[in-house]
Structures are given as C-alpha cells and as structure tokens.
Amino acid sequence: MLKRNNLKYIVLALVTLVCFHWVLTVTNPKSSYSKSWSGLSESEINGEILLQDDINNTTSYQIGKAKACFVILIRNDDLHDFRWTMRQLEDRFNHKYNYPYVFLNDVPFTEEFKKLTSALTKAKTEYGLIPPEHWNIPKDIDMEVVRKNMEQMKLEDVIYGDSIPYRHMCRFETGFFFRHELLDKYDYYWRVEPNVQFYCDIDFDPFMYLKENDIRYSFVISLYEYPKTIPTLWNSVKEFMEKYPDYIEKDNLVDFISNDGGENFNLCHFWSNFEIADLNLWRSEAYMKFFDFLDRKGGFFYERWGDAPVHSIAAALFLKKHQIHFFNEIGYKHEPFMHCPEDASLQLKCHCNPDDSFDFQGYSCTKRFLELKEYWNVTAIKNRG
C-alpha cells in the first residue's frame, strides 16, 4: 500500500512539473528556447525585423536600427551566382541584423528566383521591376554615332565597349536606382552584386556607423578608370562646376580625383560594385542637376561613362572630406580585385591573404586616399591648436 501511495505521489509530481513548464513557456516566450531558435540574444536585438514566411507574407522579427537595405541590380540568369554571395553576406553579417534585400530587374523576376533567394534569409526580400523610362535610350541620342563608336571601342578591346546593356546598367546605377519606389522608405543602401565574396566577420553595423559619424559614402576598393571609356567626361564636369559653383563643397575631396586642383581628372575613382552610402546624397538637388547635366551630354551611350567615376566625382565635389570613408574591416573581392585587411586583429575574423590585397598595388588609388586623409587629419589638428 505504501509503495502504491508513493507511486501516486511521484506521478502527481511529474504531472505538476510538466504543467508548470508549459505555463512558463506560454507566459515567457523569451526563454532560452526562443533565443536558440532566433540565434539572437536580447542584447543583440535593437529593433524590428521582418521574417519571411513565404515570398509574399511576413511576420514580426528583429531588424537593425538604420532605415537601410541591400540593393541588387540583377538578372534572373545570375540567380545561382548571387545565392553563393548572399549566403556569405548572411553568414558574415546579416544574420545578426536582418536588413532587407531589394532586388531590381528590367524584366519580371521568376518565381524560382524569388523562392530561392528568400529562402536564404530571415529578412524581408522585395522584388522590383525597373520602369521602362529608367532603362531606355533617350530620344535625342544618335544611334548611328553610338554604333560607330561601339565598333571603334571593340577594335580597341575596350571592355564592354560594344555593349548596349552595359550602358543601360551604368546609366541606371548612376541616375535612377535611387528613384525606384521600393527604395523610397530607406535612407541608406549597400550595393551588392552576384559572384562577389565577403571574407571577414562584420561585427558592427556599417549603416549605423555612417549615420552616427556623418558619413555619406563609403568604399573598399578604388582604382584608375580606363581613359578610353570617358574621353569627354571631365570637360563636362568642369562645365558643370563653372555653371553651378554654389553646389561645390568648399571642404571637398577634389585632391583625390585630381593632381592639379581640378584642372584634369587623374582617373581615380571608388569601385562602385561595393558601396554603402546615403541615398539622400543622390536625391539631393546638386546631384540630380549633376546627373541631368551629364545625361544630356550623351556620354553614357556615345562613350561608355560608368557609374563608378560619376559617383566618385560627385562624392568628391559635393561632400566634406570626413564624409567619405574607407571600410578597412570589410574583406571583399570582385574579380579580379580584392581588399583584405592587414591588421592582425582583423585577420582573426577573416579568411583572406593580405598579401593578395589590391590596396597598395600600382593600379590602386586607396593609398592616395589614405595618405590624403592622414594629411587632412594632421592639418585639422594643427589648425585647432
């Protein structure tokens, strides 16, 4: 009888324990179980994120503090190259912040593209169609001249010199991507392209770094432009500067892009396949007038003006020196060039060889940028003293 009573008490105790655990689970969802599911501790949760249940529906989750997103101009055919890149970006950075992805294409995205990209992240994914007026050849462009110039560029082995789609891409990235309605709600963007690599753990929020330090443009690789693609670009820029001198920032970065105070372009530019920047820079009156002025010259089609030199020139002319930043911490490669940080402490978070880094090779402009920044910083300290 005693044994039977003991057994009864044991069963009762177990039932009570199970019920108590169920009550705790329901009333305290932020338990260790919810933490292991999300992968985030409470100290890492700073705002609201959207968790993608399927392609179209979302539920509440956590997000980084900045009004920011990744922007990807991409074709459906580049899906698998981008999945490889996206997996790295999630593992190295975005699994902690869940910033949304905005994909843009001049044709509708396939259901396969949407399904396979949204499956790689807990963040919101959006898919936008580029308006035809943002991906066209202006009516005043003489296509006979374009074809003749393209044939000559092909003979001279100018990369993408005979490509109309590449010209569309450059013009769109220069003057239109930031006007897409899907970007209206954001203040910052991180441009990402298919088949690029991210080598280092990014243990901070670059968007918030920009916001908190009054930085409006950032890069990881800089180099010289191919002169045959932009023979008349700098003359057009000088015309703009003469016509609109009030738009030029007095504390500018012109010494990065010119060796003689702006008389000539030294071809240095930030490689824009990676850029983290303030969208309001491109939305500004100064930049909008700058782009419209250049667009009317026809150089995006008659020559092969790229978004990289135009963005770089604009940033150098319209921003203050401290508003352009080199993200040494972000290891990155876009064929054929790579940035890999040399610092021993950063190497503990990376899997790249700093000896292969492009930063201080002869065709890189990063050394020039860093030397100028150091000089300006020393001068600023002396002036304050």
Three-state DSSP string of 140-179: CCCHHHHHHHHHHHHHCCCCCCCCHHHHHHHHHHHHCHHH
- pLDDT of 58 higher than 50: no
pLDDT class for 383, splitting at 50, 70, 90? confident
Work out the mean pLDDT of the chain and round it to a whole number. 87
Is the pLDDT confidence value at 15 over 70? Answer: no
Does residue 195 have a pLDDT over 60?
Answer: yes
Flag whether pLDDT at 225 surpasses 60: yes
Cα–Cα distances in Å, from 30 out to 38, 64, 99? 10, 19, 22
DSSP labels, 43-112: GG--S-EEEESSSS-EEEE---SSSEEEEEE--GGGHHHHHHHHHHHIIIIITTT---EEEEESSPPPHH
> Residue 377 — very low, low, confident or very high, per pLDDT cuts 50/70/90?
confident
The count of other CB atoms within 10 Å of the CB of residue 70 is 21
By C-alpha distance, which of 190, 257, 195 is closest to 225? 257
Lowest mean pLDDT among 12-16, 85-89, 140-144, 275-279: 12-16
Catalytic site residue from 90, 173, 225, 275: 275
Q: With 60 as the cut, is the pLDDT of residue 17 above it?
A: no
Reply yes or no on whether the pLDDT at 368 is more than 70.
yes
pLDDT at residue 85 above 70? yes
Q: How large a percentage of the chain has pLDDT more than 90?
A: 81
Domain locations along the chain: 68-383
The CA distances from residue 301 to 120, 235, 290, 298, 378, in Å, are 37, 17, 17, 6, 43
Residue 209, CB-side half-sphere exposure with 13 Å CA sphere:
16
Q: Bigger pLDDT: 41 or 177?
A: 177
Specify the pLDDT at position 20.
Answer: 37
pLDDT higher than threshold 70 for residue 44? no
pLDDT at 235: 98
Note whether 196 and 89 are within 8 A (CB): no
The per-residue pLDDT for 385 is: 64
The pLDDT assigned to 269 comes to: 98
Q: What spatial distance separates the first Cα and last Cα of the chain, rounded to whole Å?
A: 93
Look at residue 148 and tell me whether its pLDDT is greater than 70.
Answer: yes
Does residue 35 have a pLDDT over 70?
no
Task: Give the three-class secondary structure for 219.
Answer: strand
Per-residue confidence (pLDDT) for residue 62, from 0 to 100: 55
Please report the pLDDT score of residue 274 as a whole number: 98
Q: Residue 56: its pLDDT value, please?
A: 39
Condensed to tens digits (0 to 9), the pLDDT of residues 295-354 reads: 999 999 999 999 999 999 999 999 999 999 999 999 999 999 999 999 999 999 999 999
Q: For 100-119, what is the mean pLDDT?
A: 98
CA 308 to CA 298: how far, in whole Å? 17
CATH topology of domain 68-383: Spore Coat Polysaccharide Biosynthesis Protein SpsA; Chain A (3.90.550)
- Residue 46 confidence (pLDDT): 32
Q: What is the pLDDT of residues 247-280, one digit of tens each?
A: 999 999 999 999 999 999 999 999 999 999 999 9
Q: Does the annotation count 111 as an active-site position?
A: no
Question: For residue 347, what are its two tokens?
Answer: 């190497």
Long-range (24+ apart) CB contacts under 8 A made by 241-244 are 241/317, 243/293, 244/286, 244/289, 244/290
